[in-house]
Structure formats: C-alpha cells, structure tokens
Amino acid sequence: MADAMVRDLHGYGRRRPLAAWPGAARVAVSFVLNYEEGGERNVLDGDAHAENYLVPEVVGLPPIAGRSRIVEDLFEYGSRAGFWRSVGCISPPGQSG
C-alpha cells in the first residue's frame, strides 16, 4: 500500500530530548476539562422518555414516558456547580472563574 502514512513509533528510549522550560521549570501541567452536559434524553427536548441508563442508581429500569427530575438534577450538576468548582481550583488566588 504505497499511500499508507509512515509512522515513527520507536520512541526515545534512554535518549530523551532535553526540554528547556521557561524559568528552568521541571514540571509541566496540562489541565483538561471534558464538559458534555445536555446530551441526555429529556422529554422537554422532545424525546420519548427520560434518560435511564447512564446513571448507576437507575440501571436496568424500563423507560418511563415522562420527566425524571432525579436524572435531570444529576446531569445538571456539572453545569450548575461542577464546572465552577473546577474553575475555582485552577483560578489565581482572589479571582473566581
């Protein structure tokens, strides 16, 4: 297959490249926040039934044609509080997200 992309997967082994971090820092930190609220089933959005399989407390229950306020509350936690608590952990002192 002539068009196949050639990939170098050999790695560096014992000869790692030298990284020159600003200020002679020795640690680099990457913070990734995966934010996916609002993708669950909800009758308010026109779905036939509420979400019933992504939440451990209700696994195995048959779909119920109606709202599930418990599930809505669990999914909304991320946007109401979880996101802002995460931002507060990485914001400079004295500054809130």
pLDDT by residue (tens digit) across 54-94? 666 656 677 778 888 887 887 788 778 888 888 888 888 77
Please check the confidence at residue 11 and state whether its pLDDT lies above 70: yes
| Total Cβ atoms within 10 A of residue 58 | 16
The pTM is what?
A: 0.47
List Cβ neighbours of 44 (8 Å cut-off, separation of 6 or more): 67
The pLDDT score that the predictor gives to residue 57 is 61
Q: What distance in Å separates the CA atoms of residue 75 and residue 44, rounded to the nearest whole number?
A: 14
Confidence at 97, pLDDT banded by 50, 70, 90? low
Q: What is the pLDDT of residues 37-63, one digit of tens each?
A: 777 888 888 998 888 766 666 566 777
Tokens representing 82 are 């979880």
